[in-house]
Structure 1
Amino acid sequence: MNTNNQYNHQAPYNISQPRYSFFYQPYNDFQIYHITCEEIPHWEVTHLLNNMYNIPQNHVQPSNLHIFYYPSDDNKIYRIICEVVSVHMLNKKYYDIELPQQQVVFFSKEQRDNLIFNLERDYLSPQPIMDLMELD
């Protein structure tokens, strides 16, 4: 088996999957995050599962990034990319104001756990639909 080719897998179809991005500040956290959610096509899920033992388990993510996967109730799997965003970066991007950055931004384990918990509660889990008749 040629393991050099495992990272160069080409999609069988050139179909773009929808991506949704937004800024988010979870409850009980002062930090702002840039969140990107994208559906993973079935061929990629199969590829990841077939090659999960060939990929090094000690893959290190950048300290300002956290990626996790979320299975939905409709049998789809989503890749959730969470990036710590500094206020300095937002000022630079949206207002072209450069302020000196005092600290390096990174995820702590507590921030990751809190972020995942709040994202699942607020956005990823199915939300109950209130009966409009109850509002009267």
Structure 2
Amino acid sequence: MNPTDYSQPIHPIFFFYQPENDFHYYKVNCKEIKYEDILYFLNKLFKNNLNNREHEIQSHENEHIFFYYQQYDNRFYQVICELVSPIAITNYLNENIYGIKLKQNMEQEQLSFIIEQKQNLEFHLTQYLSNYLLN
């Protein structure tokens, strides 16, 4: 069946998102995982567990990665969520709405996830994505 045959609207795989109960914005990238890659990762995970090594996807403190299964078209996605700097948003709005460039130092800003934030983001984003087909 062709994805356009579904009644669900199509959603881009790159977008910004703000979940309920969270004042942060996130840059989201949904990368489709092919079935061959799933098998490869599962085998690699299994072998690592046999060798008593912990296997964890490498990410930065300002990034949360999880996996999502799209029911409508039976596709798997790696969802990469990156915290967006509030200073970057302020700079963007000032420059694009008022035409002024403020020099705020983003290097001082420490962005990192806490576990509740990850759980809230993953829950709401999964609910949100379930209403769309990713394209």
- Return the TM-score normalized by structure 2: 0.68
Matched residue pairs, number? 108
Confirm or deny: 8 A CA contact 1:23 1:33 kept in the other structure: yes
Secondary structure of 2:37's match?
Answer: helix
Deviating above 6 A after TM superposition, structure 1's stretches of 4 or more consecutive aligned residues are: none
Task: Give the aligned partner of residue 46 of structure 2.
Answer: 53
Task: Give the aligned partner of residue 79 of structure 2.
Answer: 80
User: How far apart are the structure 2 equivalents of 1:112 and 1:103?
Assistant: 19
Structure 1 unaligned blocks of 5 or more:
1-18, 128-136
- Return the TM-score normalized by structure 1: 0.67
Task: Give the aligned partner of residue 110 of structure 1.
Answer: 116
Deviations 1:33-55 (A, max 9, x none): 00111211122111111111345
How does 1:37-48 map onto structure 2 within 5 Å?
Answer: 37-48=30-41
| Identity value in percent | 34
User: Which moves more between the two structures, 71-80 or 22-31?
Assistant: 71-80
Confirm or deny: 8 A CA contact 1:64 1:106 kept in the other structure: yes
Deviation at 1:126, TM superposition (A): 3.9
Cα RMSD over matched residues?
Answer: 2.4
User: How far apart are the structure 2 equivalents of 1:67 and 1:54?
Assistant: 21
Structure 2 unaligned blocks of 5 or more:
1-11, 49-53, 96-100
Task: Give the aligned partner of residue 5 of structure 2.
Answer: none
